[in-house]
Each structure stands twice: as structure tokens, then as C-alpha cells.
Amino acid sequence: MSRFALSTFRVKEEMDRKKVVCDCILSHQVRIKEETKRLATIRNQNNIKDDGGKYKGAEEQEIGDGEADEARHHV
């Protein structure tokens, strides 16, 4: 096999390998996006079921913690 033919073969093999890897990565990205949407839907459904009674956002927790600190200092 000539050097040119061997070089061409190796380049083609490398391109095919990179295409397979790229396709694999793209399929993983699609799967991750679908799972993220599904988890967001589940999270929203859980928040609706709780009626906000048990769930507190990060901002509300910080305010609640500050109020608890004040209560401890006044006792």
C-alpha cells in the first residue's frame, strides 16, 4: 500500500470514529434535555401538591432562619 493510500485510509477511519463519537454525544445531550424537562415537571407537580406549605424557596428559608435567630436572642 502506498503512503498516500495508507494516509487516506487513516484519515477516513479517524473521521468515521469522530462522527460516531459526535453522534453519541448528541444523543446523550438529547436524553439529558428530556430528563431535565421530566424532572422539572415532576418538581412542579410536587410543589403544587404541597400547596407551598412544606416547600420553601431559598429566599424564604433565609428569612425564616433570620427570624429564628432573632427569637433565640430575645429569649
Give the chain's domain count.
1
User: Can you read off the three cell numbers belonging to residue 10?
Assistant: 487513516
Instruction: Identify the CA nearest to 57 among candidates 43, 41, 39, 72.
Output: 43
Q: Please give the residue that has the higher pLDDT: either 72 or 20.
A: 20
54 lies in which domain range?
Answer: 3-74
* pLDDT tens readout for residues 19-43: 999 999 999 999 999 999 999 999 9
Name residues whose C-beta falls within 8 Å of residue 64's C-beta, 6 or more positions apart in sequence.
56
pLDDT for the residue numbered 60: 56
- Residue 55 near residue 47 (C-beta atoms within 8 A): yes
Q: State the pLDDT confidence band at 75, using cuts at 50, 70 and 90.
A: very low
Residue at 52: amino acid letter? G
Q: What pTM was estimated for this model as a whole?
A: 0.48
